[in-house]
Structure 1
């Protein structure tokens, strides 16, 4: 891919597009009364507009267009990915206005995931690459939706994971799109931390998951990188906090016979925020874990496959033990002082 004349300038522009889109989205949400109100299944105590993630979507679509313009070999891939992103963001936008059934959302997500699988197949030429891409898109779209429950956590986590993808990329196209996603998240964060003036909404949380799946697929298949389980293990480690909290919480709810598809405040990060009385320490703690996972992935990029699998498994085991400890002990400690989060 030919280098951009000034990559830094483009990234600043994308961050500004994201911020401007978020500001416009907030005014629109207030005008349309698109507000998330406090409740027993929510972690905030102030009615807050939703739908701000559409600014991130606009910025990334611009980045895709720039990539296709500068590298004609990416035109088809970016067209497929953009179509998938518009599907995920579009169904999320509709859901922000009027709640839809989970199954209608999943059907649209499956179509979008199929488009991403086509991108992976074109890059790797193997069903063994396309199938994990499909699964990854379905998983990350829904995990980012599940984990978007306190101020800044989903967008900051996405920023760190995108930066890790840029660090691990072997080709300019993958690195550019990862950096562009990070810049778009950076543009959104001033409206979401330390106190949220607007939430991502389903339009943003699902789209973030899809864009991260795209970044991971491009990094996993770009620069002549051979497909392997160790590659996916490395690329999953920056997002391991979200993967573990979402997966283990889901399994525990299913085991207890709860309606696992309904909103709740049972994730470790939600209980921690309630105990702490504030959102931002939890948001930054999850980001710190993601940074540590990113550094470990970067250090292990040249390790033998077996070593990567052993170290990655130990990393996930340690994270699982921390999750269990928090859910059984820290998340239920009575009488801890703390103010209400906003």
Structure 2
């Protein structure tokens, strides 16, 4: 409810402040659209997640709860600033890494884990924030992914009797759903950096908290996010190998090629939903129920995701080329 009400208010605010994403060569929409609606997800999570952590049974101290709230505030604040006045990538990245470091340090202290994990957690958190920002380019896609992954993490937490963690993850899913109501095609508002970065942080944080409780749950958690992780990672790797700036705006993700080849935003998002429901969800269930199969299942899913990305992108590129030739004639 909070996310939906805030998203509706953000539409009027964005129009009043001129926070509109204009159509362009590197964008997939055709009409000026307000941005910044993800602030509703942030507000909902800041209100409800601490309540879940402090009222439901769980091993997390007030320090971990506070560090998660602080990290979310930092990432949301730099994203909100960027939505109003675009920033260079390095100040944004610096704040994002600081936020993930604060949360990761609290997690390691609370779980009694080795501090040698800190650099890896910081890098993983920074990558999650940015990959979800990269994947926020068509109507409903990121909100849909946030609902699926957060709900899946909540189910994993419930399976190991962690009500606080499950409750917090379901809060994230509910917040994404509240925003999705205004972001489904045709979108009335976009999430903006305030939302995309925050969703990336939250999904990383709940995955890391699960790992801190039961390390074997890392693999099903990674499986849940396979569609976005594979698309963002392979696209960025491809740009790097071609000598292009990985952080520069572009339209080379698979979801963007799906739209460029003539598919609607709804159909492109349906491709990712199909992968999540038909591949990621069953594989995550297998990985959670059969710990000995968790790592092989995760490797198999990412191998399949990579192969799917290559084949689908080539077909989309051919289709887009034929479409451009037809338009030219």
Same fold (TM over 0.5): yes
Question: Do the aligned partners of residues 129 and 257 (structure 1) sit closer, same or farther apart at CA in structure 2, a change above 3 Å counting?
Answer: closer
The partner residue of 2:294 within 287, 293, 308 is 308
Which shows bigger deviation, 64-73 or 261-270?
64-73
CA contact (8 A) 1:84 1:113 kept: yes
The answer for the alignment partner of 2:15 in structure 1 is 30
Q: Distance in 2 between matches of 1:268 and 1:17?
A: 32
The answer for the alignment partner of 2:129 in structure 1 is 141
The answer for the alignment partner of 2:6 in structure 1 is 21
The partner residue of 1:219 within 210, 213, 221 is 210
Instruction: Give the secondary structure class of the aligned counterpart of 2:87.
Output: coil
Which shows bigger deviation, 163-172 or 120-129?
120-129
Q: Distance in 1 between matches of 2:142 and 2:291?
A: 32
Q: Distance in 2 between matches of 1:234 and 1:119?
A: 23
User: What is the CA deviation profile of residues 79-98 of structure 1, one whole-angstrom value per residue up to 9, with x for unaligned ones?
Assistant: 10000000000000000011
User: What is the CA deviation profile of residues 140-185 of structure 1, one whole-angstrom value per residue up to 9, with x for unaligned ones?
Assistant: 1000000000001011101100011011112011100110000001
* Matches for 1:61-80 after TM superposition, within 5 Å: 61-71=46-56, 74-80=61-67
Once the two structures are TM-superposed, the CA of residue 30 in structure 1 deviates from its matched residue by 0.4
The partner residue of 1:274 within 233, 257, 260 is 260
Instruction: Give the secondary structure class of the aligned counterpart of 1:273.
Output: helix
The answer for the alignment partner of 2:327 in structure 1 is none
Question: Do the aligned partners of residues 114 and 255 (structure 1) sit closer, same or farther apart at CA in structure 2, a change above 3 Å counting?
Answer: same
CA-atom RMSD in angstroms = 1.7
User: What is the CA deviation profile of residues 219-259 of structure 1, one whole-angstrom value per residue up to 9, with x for unaligned ones?
Assistant: 2223xx2x3xx532221111111001101000111111112
Structure 1 gap ranges (5+):
1-15, 338-342
Instruction: Give the secondary structure class of the aligned counterpart of 1:122.
Output: helix
The answer for the alignment partner of 1:101 in structure 2 is 88
The partner residue of 2:242 within 256, 261, 264 is 256
CA contact (8 A) 2:130 2:200 kept: yes
The answer for the alignment partner of 1:12 in structure 2 is none
Q: Distance in 1 between matches of 2:284 and 2:116?
A: 22
- TM-score for the superposition, normalised by structure 1: 0.88
- TM-score for the superposition, normalised by structure 2: 0.91
Structure 2 gap ranges (5+):
325-329
CA contact (8 A) 1:120 1:130 kept: no
The partner residue of 1:322 within 288, 308, 316 is 308
User: Is structure 2 residue 151 aligned with structure 1 residue 163?
Assistant: yes
